[in-house]
Copies of this chain bind each other. A is one copy, B any other.
């Protein structure tokens, strides 16, 4: 009751199912909603490159710029591939759908596992990076970063459990504020570096770093690879639009493509601009202040613009975390629908959201924040891995699809399991680009595995096959259930017949037991009351009380089992199993459990949980039907209200003719 009120207060009144009309987004708001994840990557992507190169000293940091350009080229290729996906899967084509439609079950599960880990890390990384925007501005908040990050996750979880729709205009603000602030800083920085507005200030570089390394050949290449792999976090979130094509206003595909292009333009302007300036202003990554914060401070000072950028960074990162809350539960519900996750992950809660997926996501991402102490740069090696694998699988899927299109003639079309494809021109070069994209993202995936394995990537490398194994195991279970319950070719003769016997375990003879015996006598002519006695006194007592109610006990066999231990359920269950196996094999045997029920939890603690335990034991046996005949005991409050009346007609002392009260009702 109290819990229910609390839940109503926290989550709000339930929504009826019929209220579930999907609101469509115009391009302005769609951009804000879907692009928050890839655009927010700019808060850490450049830093991820630099934090590897920093071991080379200031000369090494200069390499950030060419590596950044390479990452930007990769982004363009991936965006092109996803535009193809949007056009061919107008109902939404995440990596899972595309891989399922073109590559088969295992690749689609690999993509799903990769994406699920990716979404979890989206939340952990974005929440941590958002908090970092705060602690960069206010270093005194640094000791509380873990607490703040988990608090942010809790807040986002709460908002999502309440089912706030993703279309609110307020959600658009942080994205545009961040893009605007970022571009302003970049523009200002470029102007100042060209000598306008006065020369750009030059930070003091720790020269000691230069002497520490002297790498050549392979080691040098390895370092560059690692830095490049780090920069690939800029790619995270690009797939979001392709998942949500149906959320756009018609013409959906066209609007989605336009939004995709705009998103790519914004994200890459920011990435290239930040990387260029960070390289040329000789910013050095630091544990206490983010590169973006340093850059802004160098260019604009700690004025209004600085706090504008830090605040909008925090907000867009929290918004990016929020996209994890859109994507994870949706993908989990797809997997549940296809029988690869528990079916209940499909159920929507009071507010029409997939509550279980939201809660799972919140818990797992909080664990990551805790383990990595809210350090998002340390989490990045795990992050990009899943993204790259899903990109690669998705593009490989598109490559297969393009291959099928290549066989079509003008005017022909065919249906795959998910979508409809038509003849189109220029398939050959599109297909080639998909192949290159699949290959490069797969290579980046391998580089990430190789370079970041010991830094934490092993967690994802292990988690993905474990998740796939889990999906398959869940699927096998549902196949089995389906087969066991199937009704095809079923005839009535196949159903287990009901044995003409009813067993009633009793410990004493009281009202509850008498009620159960009356119920049992209606069911069968062979009713047996079974009592386990642990002493001659107990035996005599049961027999004496039994004899007192001939009206009810006549025709019922009283079976007394003597037992010299205290776990009385053991002989009871043994007897029941014995009756089932020897007297009525392959028939349903009925057990009637008389149980008295106390109303409050506190009162339930006062009784042996004998009835519950017996029910649980019998539950594990095949072919045992359990009947609970309850007998309710009033609560103290109800009792007090009725006590006066009761004492008038029952006499002052409630003891039963001088004997002890009943032991336990059930067994």
Binding site for B on A (CB under 8 A): 14-18, 339, 342-344, 347-350, 473-474, 476-488, 490-492, 495-496, 498, 509-512, 514-515, 518-519, 522-523, 534-535, 545, 548-549, 551-552, 564-567, 588, 596-599, 603, 605-608, 615, 619-620, 622-634, 636, 639, 646, 650, 654-657, 661-665
Contacts and interface: CB of A to CB of B under 8 A. Distances in A.
A634 B510 contact: no
Contacts of A619: 597, 628, 630
A27 to B, nearest CB: 32
Nearest to A479: B654
A625 B627 contact: yes
- Pick from A343, A646, A655 the residue with the most CB of B within 10 Å: A343
B632 A480 contact: no
Contact of A477 (B349, B476, B603): B603
Contact of A567 (B344, B350, B483, B636): B350
Contact of A607 (B16, B339, B344, B655): B344
A16 B511 contact: no
Given A510-B485, A665-B485, A552 B646 contact: no
Given A552-B492, A622-B632, A564 B606 contact: no
A608 to B, nearest CB: 5
A17 B565 contact: yes
Contacts of A488: 656-657
Given A477-B606, A480-B639, A630-B619, A16 B564 contact: yes
Contacts of A657: 488
A631 to B, nearest CB: 7
B565 A14 contact: yes
Contact of A481 (B480, B498, B628, B662): B662
Contact of A566 (B350, B498, B519): B350
B656 A482 contact: yes
Contact of A630 (B566, B599, B624, B663): B624
A633 B480 CA distance: 7
A485 B481 CA distance: 43
Contact of A17 (B17, B534, B597): B534
A484 B635 CA distance: 11
A254 to B, nearest CB: 31
B636 A625 contact: no
A482 B661 contact: yes
A618 B125 CA distance: 45
Contact of A490 (B477, B514, B567): B514
Given A342-B605, A484-B631, 4 more contacts: A478-B606, A488-B656, A492-B518, A615-B628
Nearest to A591: B628
A16 B535 CA distance: 11
12 contacts: A478-B661, A481-B633, A481-B662, A484-B511, A484-B596, A485-B633, A485-B665, A486-B511, A490-B511, A515-B588, A523-B523, A625-B629
Contacts of A496: 515
A596 B654 contact: no
Contacts of A627: 625-628
B487 A549 contact: yes
A476 B342 contact: no
A4 to B, nearest CB: 11
A388 to B, nearest CB: 31
Nearest to A657: B488
A545 B487 contact: yes
Contacts of A596: 481, 484-485
A632 B481 CA distance: 9
A588 B511 contact: no
Would you list the 4 A-B pairs with minimal beta carbon distance, nearest first?
Answer: A482-B661, A483-B654, A485-B510, A16-B564
B485 A655 contact: no
Contacts of A650: 483
A603 B657 CA distance: 50
A485 B498 contact: no
Given A606-B342, A625-B628, A14 B478 contact: no
